[in-house]
Structure 1
Amino acid sequence: MTRPKVSKGGLVTAEERAEIIRLHGEGHGRNEIARLTRRSQRTVSLICAEEQLVFDVTMTEDATRHRVAQLAERRAVLAEALQGDAERLTELMWQPCTIYNFGGKDNTYAEKEVNEPPAAEKRNLMAAANLAVEKSLKLVPPRDDDGTEQVGSLLTSLYDKLRDRHGDG
């Protein structure tokens, strides 16, 4: 098929309009017609709408559903990785580590092995873990039907029984 000679801007000629309608009749999609006629997708859409011509959108709908599913899968993978990051960060709070310092008038370096990080570093690790969990939950929010209500109900029931048996104190 030879490409029609059409202008890239300005008013659409009668020949261009006829070519767009002909290409639509052959089953070409909007984007392909725009590419072949060197007209914008909007121009093609407007001309087809004026002629009450519609495009078959089933392929577009299928492609959109497929893309949405792919993105959901990627979010789930990322959420799982963030969850793993949070677990590793919280484990570090209780692991031996090396603390160090640069400084002094002689710009010296000192280090010391300790059984677990200092409180300030634990706070930083916890904040980072919290952020990872928070972002994970935003990517893949927990479902309402995960049994949380049942667990809460069970815990409330157990608490009530213990309180009845042993009192509040």
Structure 2
Amino acid sequence: MEEELELTKKYIKLEESRFEEKLQFELCLENIEEKELKSSKIPPMLLQPFVENSIWHGLLPSQSEDKKLRIAVSQRDNGIFISIMDNGIGRQTKAQTQLNGHKSMGVTITQQRIDLFNKITNQRMQMDTLDHFDQNKKPSGTEVQIHLNES
């Protein structure tokens, strides 16, 4: 897990350098020990497609000057919880603005990788995607939650 977070931070830096847009990135480690980060195994590049979607499809199209991406990792009950959250335009708006019928396969492929991971390990990983809305019920971002539990 530790290596995955380092790769993800490098990927975010790379994306930041490609755009003049400033991105506020925050990595929060909550109630998790370093040894747990080192010993927890997840498929390589698991977080990258979600971070890419947040940047390209959520934050870059946003008119807001306050573009935030937050990754939080915490120890919960018998597993690890990862949250990738942005304050971008949201999935509903994204669906309305997609160009030329392009269908993103990153999330589908990642779900297939999670299914394979669950099949070949004694761990159970689950992914959920939440849409966030402001008080006026307008889309205000997307959050991907990944739960990793020992079986």
Q: Scaled by the length of structure 2, what TM-score is found?
A: 0.23
Structure of larger gyration radius: 1
* Higher RCO, 1 vs 2 (CA within 8 Å, ≥6 residues apart): 2
